[in-house]
Every structure is written in structure tokens, then in C-alpha cells.
């Protein structure tokens, strides 16, 4: 028992025994640094340093991109790519499954495995007649008012003419903002398109030039006949590149924009569309 107590005292004495750590100049043996230590202090300091290093390493691994270089950790970009590929794969599988169902259905039809369905024509006719008998085909008051309103619209109504020119494909003669819109009430049967001076003016469709000359009010004017009672008019040009009788293709340059004529207020193109003697709203057919 005494022996054990003595050993404990010796061990405790060793831990608490003071040592002196001295840093000397090798040439002059001058003492530069001296630190008093015990074995217990060394053990405690070493433990704290080890804990600090482990904590710093854990933080670096968990919160910095350096973890991507450690085996077992995957980068964020690779995870995103994997998710994207997973979604694409799922979509492709759905498409493949639908195609397989469609192909199997076609094969069944070609092999004659689909049974014919018998249809009773008499029952279909009876059902149609009964449905028609239930319907009330008499026009309501609101419908009658609407019909009367449409019938009383003026001659510039586009609904009366649009069905006859649906086969035409129109291209914008120029691109720009509109300074004046089509307004029959103000006798302005055109749209005014603001463009820089000397902008090329192109034919809106194939046709033949029936007028190409100068007028005092609208300057240089060119008119194209596109056939089927449809003509287009281009006014206030600075010059004309086509003469009367020339055949032009759609989007072919026919003039150069400007501000000629007494009625012009600035560089723009005055563009008109006429069908069978009736003015049309160009904005209805063309996106400027």
C-alpha cells in the first residue's frame, strides 16, 4: 500500500517537476529565450494544439471547395449535372414508352388483331335528330343587334374584303414606328412609317409598276399593281428606282425614303393598300 502511494507521489512529482527551456545563441551562448515548463503543461498544450488542428481541418473540409479534392466528396457541379442527366433520362424513358405503345398499336392494326366495332347508323341518326330538336336556333335579341350593326358598317369595313385577299403574302416595305395610323374618318387611308432618310423602300408583294413619277403634294410616288384588284402606294420618297411598266418581286427595292412633297412633315413613308377601289388598313396585314 505504501509502495503504491510512493509511486503515485513520484509520478505526480514528475508531472509537476519544472523544467527550463532555453534558447541560446550558438556563437556567444547568449540566452535569448527561457521558458519554464512542466510535463503536465507540455501534455496540455500538445492536446490543445491537436484539437485546434483537427477543428481547422474539419472546417476546411466542410465549408471550402478543397473538399472536392478529398476522396469520397463530390463537387456541386457534378451533383447538378447528375440531377440534370437524371431528369433527361426520365423524360427519354417516357418518350420511349409512349413510342413503344404507339408502335405496338400500329403492329396490332397491321396484323389484324384489332376487332371491328359495329356501328348502328340508325341510332346515330336518331341521336342527331333528337339533339337538333332540343337546340333553340332562334336568334336572340343581342345576336340580332350585332347582325344589324355589322350590316350597317361603312364601306371601309375590312371584313367585306379580307376573305378575298387571304392568298396574298405581304412584306413590310420598311420597318419603323407609326406616326399616323389608318383612319377613314380623317380621310387618312394609309399608315405613316417613320424611317431615316434614304432608307430603301421595298415592294410589299410581286407586281407591276403602274405609276412612277413626281407629284407636288406627295413628292416621288410609286404605285404597284399586284393583280386581283390589289394595289400598293408608296409616297414622299426622295427618289425612285423603278419606272412605269417594270415588273418587281416582293422585297425588291423600288424607291428611297425621304420627305419630298408639300404635305410631308419629315422623313417617313406614306404607305397605302387598296383592294377593288376600297382602302385597307395595312397594319391588319403587315407587322411594321
Q: What is the CATH number of the domain that holds 217?
A: 2.70.70.10
**Helix (H, G, I), strand (E, B), or coil: what is residue 42?**
helix
Question: What does the alpha-carbon distance between residue 49 and residue 110 come to, in Å, rounded to a whole number?
Answer: 81
Give residue 233's domain range.
162-285
pLDDT in the model for residue 99: 86
pLDDT in the model for residue 126: 65
Say whether pTM exceeds 0.85: no
Torsions phi, psi for 254 (to 5 deg): -120, -15
In eight-state DSSP terms, residue 261 is: S
- Please count the structural domains in the chain: 2
Nearest to 173 by CA among 228, 246, 245, 222: 222
Low-confidence stretches of the chain (pLDDT beneath 70)? 1-5, 65-76, 109, 112-139, 149-167
Are the beta carbons of 190 and 270 closer than 8 angstroms?
yes
Are the beta carbons of 70 and 61 closer than 8 angstroms?
yes
Strands 200-202 and 230-240: unpaired
Residue 86 counted as domain residue: no
Residue 30 counted as domain residue: yes
Residue 119 counted as domain residue: no
pLDDT in the model for residue 162: 44
Nearest to 282 by CA among 173, 152, 199, 154: 173
Among 11, 34, 56, the domain boundary falls at 56
Amino acid at each position: 500500500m505504501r509502495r503504491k502511494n510512493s509511486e503515485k507521489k513520484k509520478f505526480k512529482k514528475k508531472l509537476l517537476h519544472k523544467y527550463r527551456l532555453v534558447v541560446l545563441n550558438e556563437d556567444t551562448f547568449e540566452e535569448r529565450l527561457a521558458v519554464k515548463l512542466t510535463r503536465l503543461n507540455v501534455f496540455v498544450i500538445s492536446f490543445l494544439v491537436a484539437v485546434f488542428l483537427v477543428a481547422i481541418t474539419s472546417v476546411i473540409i466542410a465549408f471550402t471547395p478543397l473538399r472536392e479534392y478529398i476522396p469520397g466528396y463530390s463537387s456541386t457541379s457534378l451533383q447538378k449535372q447528375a440531377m440534370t442527366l437524371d431528369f433527361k433520362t426520365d423524360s427519354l424513358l417516357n418518350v420511349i414508352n409512349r413510342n413503344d405503345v404507339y408502335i405496338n398499336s400500329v403492329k396490332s392494326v397491321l396484323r389484324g388483331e384489332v376487332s371491328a366495332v359495329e356501328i348502328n347508323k340508325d341510332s346515330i341518326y336518331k341521336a342527331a335528330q333528337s339533339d337538333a330538336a332540343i337546340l333553340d336556333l332562334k336568334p336572340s335579341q343581342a345576336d340580332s343587334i350585332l347582325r344589324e350593326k355589322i350590316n350597317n358598317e361603312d364601306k371601309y369595313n375590312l371584313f367585306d374584303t379580307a376573305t378575298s385577299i387571304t392568298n396574298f403574302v405581304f412584306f413590310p416595305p420598311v420597318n419603323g414606328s407609326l406616326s399616323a395610323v389608318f383612319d377613314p374618318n380623317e380621310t387618312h387611308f394609309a399608315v405613316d412609317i417613320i424611317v431615316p432618310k434614304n432608307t430603301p423602300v421595298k415592294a410589299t408583294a410581286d407586281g407591276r409598276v403602274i405609276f412612277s413619277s413626281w407629284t407636288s403634294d406627295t413628292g416621288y410616288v410609286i404605285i404597284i399593281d399586284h393583280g386581283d384588284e390589289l394595289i400598293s402606294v408608296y409616297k414622299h420618297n426622295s427618289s425612285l428606282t423603278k419606272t412605269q411598266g417594270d415588273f418587281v418581286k416582293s422585297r425588291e427595292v423600288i424607291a428611297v425614303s425621304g420627305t419630298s412633297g408639300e404635305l410631308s412633315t419629315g422623313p417617313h413613308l406614306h404607305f397605302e393598300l387598296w383592294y377593288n377601289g376600297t382602302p385597307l388598313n395595312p397594319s391588319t396585314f403587315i407587322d411594321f
